[in-house]
Chain A
Amino acid sequence: MNDMTAIYTPETVKLAESAPTSPPAVVRAQGVGVFYDEKQALKDVSIDIRKGEVTALIGPSGCGKSTFLRCVNRMNDTIDNCRVVGRIEIDGLDIYGKEIDVVQLRARVGMVFQKPNPFPKSIYDNIAYGPRIHGVAVNRAEMDELVEASLGRAGLWDEVKDRLDAPGTGLSGGQQQRLCIARAIAVNPDIILMDEPCSALDPIATARIEELIDELREKFTIVIVTHNMQQAARVSQRTAFFHLGELVEQGDTETIFTNPSDERTQGYITGRFG
């Protein structure tokens, strides 16, 4: 089993101290494949994620989109029999390299899950958790500011500002998901991965979150997996179509949806399958 807590080495310290402050955050995947025991779930995926854009991964269920997403923040490490081949670079660094600290990687690459999973703590503590463990805020005043900013940016502040001590699990589904987004934002990542964030929500909550994604685009790079093509068309600038574990086609969203080059993409978009 890949131990998710990679061995900390002095190199990682040097990286943190010597890396330049803000080149464009780019995720570059080359030839990525994923195996569960002997079964191959993902084949030879090569894709570029550009800074400041929303990239949508679409395709029928079971085609590997979520599997690929989980490679980017190495969440697949927590699955025992999962093996990843190929290369994924963030800012030019191979994130599967030996010197990479997974814990720091995940502070840079945040994730929002399909089913909202707030911690059974208060709303305040849910947001404060990430900053607390990464030492981002040093005192209570800073933390308060950070919590307010994150909740504000997630569009939840007005609704919960009077009950920050209430349990996070007591909110409605849509609110819980926005809470999880606020939680991910609070550690100030560069990239946010969203795995079908709206599939467990009603249409109104979905609409709010799509608005949110659009606002977040200013500051974060977002990769969103969705099985809802209309949603992909609404929120994303780039789209990639996955089918049976392969990346079939990628390009500008408009092009993909109006004039796809591959007939499989055509078939999926017109609803012939999936």
Chain B
Amino acid sequence: MQTFAIIAVLLALSALGYRLGRGRAMAAAGGDAHLLHSLPSYYGSYVALWSAIPALILVAVWLTLEPGIVRWLVIESLPPDARNLAPERLGLLMNDIRNLAHGDAISQEADPATIAAADRYAYLRGIGTTAMVAVAMAIAVAGLAFGRRAINVHMRARVSVERVINIILLVASSLAILTTVGIVLSLLFEAIRFFDLVSPVEFLFGLQWSPQTAIRADQVGSSGTFGAVPIFAGTLLITAIAMAVAVPVGLYSAIYMSEYAGPRFRSVVKPMLEILAGIPTVVYGFFAALTVAPFVRSTGAFLGLDVASESALAAGFVMGIMIIPFVSSLSDDVINAVPQTLRDGAYALGATKSETIRQVIVPAALPGIVGSILLAVSRAIGETMIVVMAAGLAANLTANPIEAVTTVTVQIVTLLVGDQEFESAKTLAAFALGLVLFFVTLMLNVVALWVVRKYREKYD
């Protein structure tokens, strides 16, 4: 891409600046590096930074703003009837213009206005790129010259360079906040647009989920009901089944490994349980759809039950298996952290091992165990591929595990995958669901981490 080329050139320029800066520093010191405040390389870096950073910032800002500005200019140049189109249609038109400019296929016959607009678009993009390159180069060269001029024997290059690097490190750290802000804002933004079309009350409390919206105004079957309660219920059902599998198996495994097993057993079994956590969820989904679901179905048939081929039981069971390491690893850690003196106290009273574990150790480790279970629940709620491949698509409000239900993540995928017009209530519903998912998992994680931290304070 062109952008790579531009960035490469700028980097090359700053490398040149490095060498010039170094040379200049050595020259200023008459060849004797000891006279300089900092190592010569710092002077080089100083010039390189002055050359690269302003130019790169310019390129980043330009690339961000240019598409929007060009789009605005092109729309201004359209004939009035095109300019006043409804937002979705305008978006479609802009897509066509863009595609035409790139030489790709478009959705309908190209009329002269569109072709003209496409030409203008290409022209503006071309000018924009050229201008950006020119300005960036100019700034880079100016920076280089400025930096080089500032070099003298007394200049504290290392201090300046390190200050810049510190700022860069700080910016890198802030990226985490930026990501969270980005997530919240983007979800919120789209969800608010959704709630303009569908009331939050209907969404959060409605019992009918049937997200069909009209593509044309007169289309039949265009009622859309967006009551998400069946979806929430489905998520809870599958999560409950998963936890019913993962908590006993995970907890008992952790207890056995930390209290009963010998070191050799532990060193073999613990990694094997970790493997369960490393298998991609798409593999679990395939296993669930191809092996577990038919098995559950035929077992059900054998018992005289009518089990759906996408039963919550199959999906929940496989998800439970995936979650076992989350429960067992964390529980193992907290059980090991219980002080030996507590165990000694119980043994000295004549308690058997199981009595000690059940009545002294597990209650003492309970906050940590609860924290690990909450984290596991959060993982189960947010899991996507297993349920996409093994659970159903139709919203079904039930507590019966042999029926098919759908979950929040399945709906998000179904609503967004495929050719969707981005503005319709259908696709925006996915963002509303995503917002709910984000906040629920956030709450669970915050509570879980707080619980685990409080527990750790008690024993440290």
Contact = CB atoms under 8 A, between A and B. Distances in A.
Q: Do chains A and B touch in the complex (CB under 8 A)?
A: yes
Contacts, number: 70
Contacts of A187: 349-350
B282 to A, nearest CB: 43
B348 A113 contact: yes
B344 A103 contact: no
Contacts of A121: 363
A130 B353 contact: no
Interface residues of B, number: 20
B355 A106 contact: no
A118, A120, A184 interface centre (most CB from chain B within 10 Å): A120
B363 A73 contact: no
Given A1-B262, A120-B364, A115 B341 contact: yes
**B contact patch SS:** helix
Contact of B341 (A4, A104, A113): A113
B351 interface: yes
A117 interface: yes
B349 A183 contact: yes
A78 interface: yes
B214 interface: no
A19 B363 CA distance: 37
Interface string B366-382: 00000000000000000
A119 B345 contact: yes
A184 B347 CA distance: 11
Given A113-B341, A115-B341, A120-B363, A103 B351 contact: yes
Contacts of B347: 4, 75, 78, 106
B349 A107 contact: yes
Contacts of A5: 352-353
Given A119-B360, A120-B363, A105 B341 contact: no
Nearest to B343: A78
Interface in B28-74: none
Contacts of A180: 345
Interface string B315-348: 0000000000000000000000001011111111
A129 interface: yes
A119 to B, nearest CB: 6
A104 B345 contact: no
Contact of B349 (A1, A118, A120, A129): A129
A74 to B, nearest CB: 9
B350 A117 contact: no
Contacts of A113: 341, 344-345, 348
A134 B349 CA distance: 9
Nearest to B348: A111
A155 interface: no
Contacts of B341: 113, 115, 117
A78 B340 CA distance: 10
A73 B349 CA distance: 10
Contacts of B353: 4-5
B359 interface: yes
A141 interface: no
Contacts of B352: 5, 103, 133
Interface of A: 1, 4-5, 73, 75, 78, 103-108, 110-111, 113, 115, 117-121, 129-130, 133-134, 180, 183-184, 187
6 contacts: A73-B348, A103-B350, A103-B351, A105-B350, A113-B344, A133-B359
Given A103-B352, A129-B349, 11 more contacts: A5-B352, A5-B353, A73-B348, A75-B344, A105-B350, A108-B350, A113-B341, A113-B345, A133-B355, A134-B350, A183-B349
